Amino acid sequence: MTIVEPDADGLRRAVELLRRESVVAFPTETVYGLGAHAFSARAVAEVYRLKNRPSWNPLIVHVANVAAARALAHEWPEAANELAAQFWPGPLTLVVERAKHLPQLGAPTLTIAIRVPAHEVALKLLEASGLPLAAPSANRSEGISPTTAGHVLRSLPEVPLVLDGGPASWGIESTVLDLTTPTPTLLRPGALALRPLREVTGAIALPDAVGDGTARPSPGMSRRHYAPKATVLLVDDVKSVDRDGLAAPVAVLSYETAGDYDAAEVLSADPREYAADLYAALHRLDDAGVGTIIVQAPPDTEDWLAVRDRLVRAAR
C-alpha cells in the first residue's frame, strides 16, 4: 500500500485505479472511505473481500452533486430536495428508492443510500473519475472506523492506494436517514444532529421507537461494531469499577478526569469535539495493547446520541 498526497499526481493515480475497477481509500469529512466504482461488480466484490463485510450489508454511494444523486433514485422525494439543499455537501446519507435500471451489486436492495461528501479531495476524486463511488468506512468489518490515512493502512494493508487528506474533521460517520418510510426514519445517528434535520423534515422516527412500527434498524447496525481489540466497559461511574480480574493493562476513556490507570484518554466534554477524537483515541489504546478500556458513559441526551451509539456497540 502507498499513502500519497492528494495532489494532481495522486488524484491521477487514484482515478486510474478506480477506472481499472480496483479500489482506493480517500478522505471524507466524516471518516476515510474505501472507494470503488459503485456499479462495477469486480470493484464492489473487492470492497466486500477487503473489509470482510457481510454480503447482506449494502454500500452507500458517494456522488458529486444532487443531480448525480437523483439519477440513482427511482423517486426523489421533496424531503430529499430540501435536505440536500440544506446539508449537502455534508455528513448526511439519504436512503431513497433505487432506480430500477441500476445493476444490483453487493447486498440486493430496493433502496439506495447516497451522499455528497463535504471534502475537497473526495469531491475532486468524484469529479475527476466521473464515477459514483461506493465507499464504506475503510476498516475491517466491525472494527474502528479510520480518521487518518495511517488508520487505513493498519486496518486494510492490502489497499493499493490511500489519498492522505489529514485527520477527518468530524471523525464520526454520517447520519443515515431513510426517506422511504411515511415518517423519515433515523437508521444511524451520526455527525449531523437531529435538531437541524427536524427543522426541515418535522418528526423523525428513532431506531428505538418501535411503538409506531415504522422504525427498523439499518442493515449495518450490527450489535458488535466499532470495536477495539480490548474489552470495553461502559459505565456511569468510572471510580466504582472493581479492577480485580480485568484484563491488564487497564485504560480509562473519559471526558472529565483520568485517575490512576495504565493508560488514559481524556476527551472534550463537548460532544462534537469528543466525537472528532473518539476513534483516534480507541486506535491509540489498541496500539498501546491495553486489555480493558473503562469508558465513562456520556450523558443520555440527544447531543450525545451518535457517540453513545458507537460506545454501546463497542462495549458489546
- Residue numbering of the annotated binding site for L-threonine: 30, 62, 115, 135, 174
**Greatest distance between any 2 Cα atoms in the chain:** 60
Binding-site residues for ATP sit at 53, 57, 111, 137, 145, 188, 226
Output the DSSP codes for 41-94.
Answer: HHHHHHHHHHHT--TTSPPPEE-SSHHHHHTTBS---HHHHHHHHHH-SSSEEE
Rounded to a whole number of angstroms, the minimum distance from the CB of residue 96 to ligand TXA is 9
Residues in region 23-52 near ligand TXA by CB under 6 A:
28, 30-31, 33
The reply on whether position 155 binds ligand TXA by CB under 6 A is no
- C-alpha distances (whole Å) from 252 to each of 44, 171, 201, 289, 296 are 38, 20, 39, 13, 8
Residue of the chain from 124, 188, 308, 313 that contacts ligand TXA (CB under 6 A):
188
Q: Which is nearer to ligand TXA, 294 or 310 (CB)?
A: 310
- Tell me the residue type at 292: T
Residues in region 54-93 near ligand TXA by CB under 6 A:
57-60, 91, 93
Provide the pairing of β-strand 111-115 with 61-62.
parallel
Compute the distance between CA of residue 104 and CA of residue 47 in angstroms, rounded to an integer.
Answer: 15
Q: Which stretch, 134-142, 203-211, 231-239, 302-310, contacts ligand TXA (CB under 6 A)?
A: 134-142
Compute the distance between CA of residue 149 and CA of residue 153 in angstroms, rounded to an integer.
Answer: 6
- Tell me, residue by residue from 203 to 232, as one string, x for binding to ligand TXA by CB under 6 A and - for no binding: ---------------xxxx-----------
Q: Judge whether 102 and 110 are in contact, CB under 8 Å.
A: no
Rounded to a whole number of angstroms, the minimum distance from the CB of residue 236 to ligand TXA is 28
Helix, strand, or coil (residue 205): strand
The reply on whether position 129 binds Mg ion by CB under 5 A is no
Residues forming the site for ligand TXA (CB under 6 A) = 28, 30-31, 33, 57-60, 91, 93, 95, 109, 111-113, 117, 135-137, 173-174, 176, 187-188, 218-221
